Amino acid sequence: MCFAWTVLVVVFLLPGAYSLSRDEFPSHFVFGASTSAYQVEGAANEDGRKPSIWDTFSHAGNANMYKGDGDVACDGYHKYKEDVQLMANMGLDAYRFSLSWSRLIPDGKGPVNPKGLQYYNNLINELISHGIQPHVTLHHWDLPQTLEDEYEGWISKKIVYDFTAYADVCFREFGDRVKYWTTVNEVNIFAMFGYGVGLGPPQRCSPFSVANCSRGNSSTEPYLAAHHMLLAHASATRLYNKKYKGVQHGFIGLNVLTISFVPLANTSGDIIATQRAHDFWNGWVLNPLTFGDYPDIMKRNVGSRLPSFTKKESNMIRNSFDFLGINFYNTFSVNSYPESLNTEAIDFMPDFAAQITMLPENDTSIDLVLDSLKNDYGNVPIYIHENGHKTPHNSSLNDFSRIKYLQKYIGAIAKSIRSGSNIKGYFVWSFMDVFEILTGYEVSLGLYYTDLKDPDLKRHPKLSAKWYSSFLKNKPTEPKVIMEIEGDTSLL
């Protein structure tokens, strides 16, 4: 295939691939990439770090879904300088990562681990020295196991105090350089997976749920865990605003996994069920943050199993954020199913009174989510913390499908900004292939391929990394990148 024909094929299959420009975004808009501590750091048993609930979950078999753990992961703990250099070469404005609570404070409370403190100081300083903003998440599914053992972690209100003390250490030690803080990642899905269906740490659910857990209650614990995450977030935010914001001038937010829900059929039942699904999934977190209480439909359907806020707690939670972090991957169709409310309360899913089905990944309905957030919760500042495309781990470095995916989503975000959405930044998940929560090392979402068979875990740039770099630097896609696409069978 000649070079000219290659260009024609690429342009035909990827409409507008070379017309999307960074100039379409505001000058202050931030582009970056994301990872999280357990998924990338490794060094799980080094320098004083103790296990988290994610270590325990993985070592117990990952709910029999896949093999692997984060003991070594991508060895980011030792290779952070190399990784930051790759980020700088790519042209990233920012890097979103999380802190390992059990590396920084191994027992969840008490003494700070000097080696953990040193590592995060080194990483933050390395990022800043290369002109990359650190965007830090305090909790990304990896509660110290000691707190789970002591009082069952997030289902106990004791966690609010310990999380606030942990946040205090982080603000104190890193807040002079870190200006963007996210308290908890994916409050809603962490509560659902960890405490509802048992497909994530700490693998708590009713014995007859999806993962057949040995402990837990799927009808109550997801609501209880999310409730305490909201209280912990609000407490940490109040601390930051009172003690640090006036000096450090940073911003603090909370992260949710958003889903675009669409009616299965154009019927009143499915349309109403779609709003109900939105309230249960997104409103579960966003209504308390905006209005100080859960959606009315949740209070009606869940009843006494849904915790309630005191007036003081409601006031503390309401407006307790400077920005909202959202993760987006999928669209679901919704079919009304009110009969589920007549079943015994054994799970949280029947409370939706709907059946939801995941649709193919190749849509760009993130604009529906962004519009609903703007209309339902005010035009709050939003950072898209995660958005990415799955491929098999050992697939070609010529990941044309990922380029197409990123092109479509970044274009959709530019359109939403033109329509008035207050979006401040976009982070690709993930910077490199990492240990994924539902697939381990079997599926990849990284811009860089991590060679797990190489003792040095060498990173290899995928075609998407080169495309993203060209976009970030406002350069046309290089001819050699186009030529590399020629060998990808997805073009045929």
Q: Which residues are catalytic?
A: 186, 386
DSSP code per residue over 443-474: EE--SEEE-TTSTT--EEE-HHHHHHHHHHTT
Q: Could you give the angle at which helices 221-243 and 284-291 cross, rounded to 10 degrees?
A: 40
Q: What is the CA radius of gyration of the chain?
A: 22
Q: Give dist(CA 464, CA 429) in Å, integer.
A: 12
The closest of 232, 234, 250, 39 to 133, measured between CA atoms, is 250
Cα–Cα distance measured from residue 219 to residue 340, given in angstroms and rounded to the nearest whole number? 13
Phi, psi dihedral angles at 313 (to 5 degrees):
-65, -40
> Rounded to 5 degrees, what are φ and ψ at 451?
-80, 100
Q: Name the strand (E) or helix (H) holding 326.
A: strand 323-336
d(CA 484, CA 306): 54
Q: What is the dihedral of CA 343, 347, 350, 356, to 10 degrees?
A: -140
Q: How many alpha carbons lie under 13 Å from residue 114 in its C-beta half-sphere?
A: 0
For tokens 């829900």, the residue is: 261
**From the CB of residue 196, how many other CB atoms can be counted at a distance below 10 Å?**
30
CA distance 421 to 409: 15
Contacts of residue 118, Cβ cutoff 8 Å, sequence gap at least 6: none
CA angle 9, 11, 12 (to 5 degrees): 65
- H helices of 279-389, in order, are 284-291, 296-302, 311-317, 366-377
In one-letter notation, the amino acid at residue 260 is S
- Helix, strand, coil distribution of the chain in percent, nearest 5: 45, 15, 35
For residue 32, what are its two tokens?
A: 């970056």
Spatial neighbors of 266 by CB under 8 A, at least 6 apart, are: none
